[in-house]
Amino acid sequence: MKLLPKDALLFAIAAPLLAGCGGGNSLGVSVVTPEGNHLAEFAYSQIQSAVTKVGGAVSSSGAYKIHLDTIDASLGEEAYKISVEGKDIHVVGGDATGLMYGGLSIAEQIEMGNIDAIKAETVTPSLKARGLKFNIPLDMRTPSYTDGGDSGQANIPAMWDMSFWEEELDRMALNRMNVLTLWNLNSFPSMVKVPGYEDCALNDVWRTTLPFDSSYKGTGADLVREEHYQEGNYEVVKTISVDDKIKFWQDVFAKAHDRGVKVYYYFWNVYTFGEHGNYGITASQDNPTTTDYFRKAVEAFVDTYQNLDGIGVAAGENMNLPKSGGETGGSMGSVGYGDEENETWLHDTYGEGVKASLAKTPGRQFEFIHRMHYSDANSLKTIWSDLPCTFSLSDKYSTAHMYAVEEPHLIDPTLETMEKGQHLFLEMRNDDAYFHRYGGVDFLRAYITKIPKPVTGFFMGSDGYIQGREYMDKEETFKGQLYQAKHWYNYMLLGRIGYQYDLSDDFIRAKIKTHFSDMKLTDEEVKDFFDLLNNAGRILPKSNILFYTGGDSWYPEGSWTNPNTFGYIGVKRLIKANNAHPYGNTLSIPEYVTATLNKETIDKDTPLDVINDFRDAASKTDALAQKLSSRMGQNKEFDAMVLDSTSFANLGKYYASKYEGVLELRFFNDTKEEARRTSAVAKLNEAIPYWEAYANDMIARYTDNVRLSRAGIFSFSAVTEEVKKDVNDAQNWKPRSL
């Protein structure tokens, strides 16, 4: 055990209004924390802020003494131990991050008015890695996979704004998130100068002025077209030299480390938009110049960012298609779907580039993460065996839809082929809901705590929406707000439960009460709000049970898929849809009708169970919202979270009536019983006002006609017309073979 360091500073904070601190006497808090330790200093700043919030002020002495200056490595990484001796509170960290987390825990207790309730405890992380998957739209010329959407274009300036990253990383630390993965198709021209290819480096930051439409490929291969480069078709959103760009990202990565956050940079392949044909570089892995450029670019990237913790790669959408195999597991790979030609190219570029860079800095800790996307786990063991660093894997845990089932088994093939002790990171994709604030505690707790034990941790994010700043909200208060700030409750639950599986409901309710401290909510109101969010949170996962497609074209928040796929998902498709979630333990509508008519024994949940769950969750949500209605109008964020919950309830009622209508129509199709058609028409008519209430609420609060990068151009009002057509389709339905 050791003190950090010998020249510790003593900070004193007076806290005269700390609840439970001597019956309201003017009491102070002093904090001992090491000088120059940025993680401990952040914890101190949060303690100081907490004391200020409860009525304190800086003082030269304090009765309560918090010692935040000791490391004991035997506790383990990111762990901490708190001990209490009278009014002396000692925090020991397993490392600097653990010390920070212990200090942040103290700050929380003070803000909750519970300094006298601080008790001895030792906390060890449940999951080693808890983080974000962040597609970063750097520039028109170096896009992310999400740049084809409105949120991507709106967020290009934010990516070059240090205040954005400072708040993002502060919030990650507060949520106990410790990994930031940044994803871009090819960032090299925007972030590094490559020896021998210097003219590929890009000054300034550009954004296209041309609208994106449905003609763009889902692979992202034509996100940048030649017309984008023509004068008048782009704007310069930031004037900055490539040297200053490099300094900017070096500072971002350093800031991440100051918050206990590791940074990994992911690349898709092979995209060469920013290079724009310079030196004969093309988007072909068969081009020797392209191969040489990528190898040298990777080396320069790892050289330039010495505080980068690792890189990730994928045999992605713009490589040569595999010659054989089929989709297995949670990715387009896992076992038997890789292509040795692609893997060899990745090794000869990214692998050799990493090797060349690490040879210059012996002992540097670095991690190479290979996605199981279009890859074969067995071939990786031989092709990548020569890397002089940690070789890890990442895989999609729930394909594109984390809000579905609590325990997906889609990564089982990867688990079976992993080597003992190898790191496996889960890519947890939320392409389910972009606008609504999600708060299903029960679902998230089950989803996270049931992660298989060999897994190292997770990255959460989406491909259909940039989780940067929010620009679609019509409420001026929320425009430009960090996505992580808007969805503070969801991110808090993900990070805190990932860090501490046994996080209690009582603690979560206390966080709610503190978050809305200006409202002075009663304990009963806090419980009602907690239950409101939890019941509303039951609805979204149910929308992925009877109709499920693992791809990110399916957008359950809108009952929609990309127009190039199906567009609106109506009765014509649902009446024959056998794609119930493979691990949802539920019969599809066609399966249920067939089993019922054949009088078969049913040992799974049925569509009626899903329909009843929708209605039960919606009914309870509405009742709780009504109980809280007297508090509306006092806090805009509180109002928005209640409205998001009642909006979810309307979506649930719509899905319930719609699926019941489809179920009845399928019975009519198979039996020709006219009463079934009549019932189907009635249920589909019943769905219309629920959707209208849902759509009208969303249109009142958000931009209606938006382009989502994976689901395409989407409009709540346009879907309303499609919902009405379902009734006509049922009225005119003729029984047929399906």
Count, residues in the chain: 738
Tell whether 324 is covered by a domain: yes
Judgement on whether residues 475 and 570 belong to the same structural domain of the protein: no
Tell whether 67 is covered by a domain: yes
3-state DSSP call for residue 184?
strand
Judgement on whether residues 579 and 498 belong to the same structural domain of the protein: no
Judgement on whether residues 589 and 610 belong to the same structural domain of the protein: yes
Tokens 């509306």 sit at which residue? Answer: 632
Q: Which pLDDT band, with edges at 50, 70 and 90, does 1 fall under? A: low
CA angle, corner 59, sides to 54 and 64, nearest 5? 65
Predicted confidence at residue 376, as pLDDT, reads: 82
Contacts of 446 (CB under 8 A, 6+ apart): 406, 407
Predicted confidence at residue 374, as pLDDT, reads: 85
Judgement on whether residues 91 and 148 belong to the same structural domain of the protein: no
Residue 219's nearest CA partner among 376, 330, 332, 296 is 332
Q: Which pLDDT band, with edges at 50, 70 and 90, does 5 fall under? A: very low
Average pLDDT estimate for 81-108: 97
Task: State how far the alpha carbon of 469 is from the alpha carbons of 168, 474, 639, in Å.
Answer: 10, 14, 20
Q: Which CATH number does the domain housing residue 355 bear?
A: 3.20.20
Both tokens of 582, joined, read 């493979």
| Domain total of the chain | 3
Predicted confidence at residue 538, as pLDDT, reads: 98
Are 97 and 39 in contact by the 8 Å Cβ rule? The answer is yes
Model pLDDT for residues 682-728, shown as the tens digit of each residue = 999 999 999 999 999 999 999 999 999 999 999 999 999 999 999 99
Residue 478: domain span: 129-503
Judgement on whether residues 591 and 496 belong to the same structural domain of the protein: no
Average pLDDT estimate for 109-121: 92
Both tokens of 445, joined, read 């707790």
Average pLDDT estimate for 284-292: 96
Judgement on whether residues 85 and 219 belong to the same structural domain of the protein: no
Model pLDDT for residues 69-90, shown as the tens digit of each residue = 899 999 999 999 999 999 999 9
Contacts of 279 (CB under 8 A, 6+ apart): 197, 199, 200, 289, 293
Judgement on whether residues 495 and 563 belong to the same structural domain of the protein: no
Task: State how far the alpha carbon of 22 is from the alpha carbons of 28, 89, 120, 261, 510, in Å.
Answer: 11, 16, 20, 38, 22
Both tokens of 113, joined, read 């008015």
Residue 727's nearest CA partner among 661, 673, 670, 664 is 661
Predicted confidence at residue 56, as pLDDT, reads: 74
Surface-to-core class of residue 382, CB atoms within 10 Å of its CB (0-12 exposed, 13-18 middle, 19+ buried): exposed
Tell whether 602 is covered by a domain: yes
Q: Which CATH number does the domain housing residue 32 bear?
A: 3.30.379
Contacts of 108 (CB under 8 A, 6+ apart): 50, 511, 514
Average pLDDT score, the chain: 93
The answer to whether residue 588 scores a pLDDT higher than 50 is yes
Provide the b/e sequence for 584-601 (b: ≥16 CB within 10 Å): bebbbbbbbbebbeeeee
Strands (E), 56-149: 57-58, 64-71, 80-85, 88-93, 121-123, 129-135
Q: Which pLDDT band, with edges at 50, 70 and 90, does 54 fall under? A: confident
Judgement on whether residues 151 and 110 belong to the same structural domain of the protein: no
Judgement on whether residues 489 and 548 belong to the same structural domain of the protein: no
